[in-house]
Amino acid sequence: MPRVFPQINGFDVKVNIIEDQDGPHVHVFKAGVEYRISLETCKVLTYTGGTKAQARAAERLIAERIDECWTEWNKWH
């Protein structure tokens, strides 16, 4: 998965180059946890652990950098 932008506060944001059925989203990784976040709502779709505070921080990060996320997603889809 290509990285959307350099890591920020330990969050690594990537986009899947294989289209799936969940609509436009990015994968956000931090400390062994993966969050899949919708680009349409900037809300967590699924996650593999972590805390609610970490999930909210991941959502905020995507909301703040949404244009970069859309650009990278559109590049591959």
pTM recorded for the entire structure: 0.91
Rounded CA separation 34/60 (Å): 15
Q: Furthest-apart CA pair in the chain: how many Å? A: 31
Mean pLDDT by groups of 10 residues along the chain of 77 residues: 92 87 90 95 93 95 97 91
Residues 55-66 have pLDDT tens digits of 999 999 999 999
Give the pairing type, strands 25-30 and 44-47. Answer: unpaired
